[in-house]
Amino acid sequence: MRQAWGRVLLLHDAVTRMGFAASAIILALIAISFSYEVVARYFFGAPTSWANAFVAYFLCASIFLAAPELTRRRAHVAVTILSDRASPGFRAALHRVVLAAGAGACLLATWITANATADQFAMGIDTISAYPIPKWLVSIFIPYGMLSSSLYFLRDLTGGDLGANSGPTP
């Protein structure tokens, strides 16, 4: 059972790394498209009609594909003034509470955004843009990022393995 669970965790890490790499590529494409837009608009007097839509659609993907890797690395935003001044025992307890709260908040956000994305899909809602696309294609990255980040908070809370090493050995 532990080996199977370990493989699931390795798969989660691999998907997270691929998402982070995709996020970096998307961010580079966003920078290139905006640079192209500036050059086309101000040097050639020929603004693009697609650059703003491209950036708007892909910015969401870039953010929520990167979030799980930042959570895995513990590179997310943290306000540590209280824990920095606390005793070691209180600091450890506070750390566990913060991890649990982070996991809970991300799971709630997953539930809310997954329902909203499913509604967008079911109702056939499109984006409002010069180049409309189904809105769920933009939104789908939000529940993914929130769910994956919540799993990393839970993994951290349980010692990195979500309980794979807890309990009796078979």
Running along the chain, 170 residues long, what does each successive block of 10 average in pLDDT? 84 97 97 94 91 91 97 87 89 92 97 98 92 95 98 91 44
**In sequence order, what are the residues at sequence separation of 6 or more whose Cβ sits closer than 8 angstroms to the Cβ of residue 150?**
102, 103, 104, 106, 107, 110
| DSSP assigned state of 128 | -
CB contact at 8 A, 54 and 33: yes
Residue 134 pairs with which residues in a beta bridge? 126
Q: How far apart are CA 11 and CA 98, in angstroms?
A: 26
Q: What is the pLDDT of residue 4?
A: 81
Query: Which value, to the nearest 10 degrees, does the dihedral of the CA atoms of residues 155, 159, 164, 166 take?
Result: -140
Q: What is the pLDDT of residue 80?
A: 84
The closest alpha carbon to 134, from 144, 124, 143, 142, belongs to 124
Q: What is the pLDDT of residue 1?
A: 67
* Residue ranges per structural domain of the chain: 2-157
Q: How far apart are CA 5 and CA 61, in angstroms?
A: 28
Q: What is the pLDDT of residue 83?
A: 86
Q: What is the pLDDT of residue 164?
A: 47
CB contact at 8 A, 72 and 84: no
Q: How far apart are CA 164 and CA 147, in angstroms?
A: 19
Tokens of 31: 């920078």
Q: What is the pLDDT of residue 169?
A: 33
Q: How far apart are CA 28 and CA 22, in angstroms?
A: 10
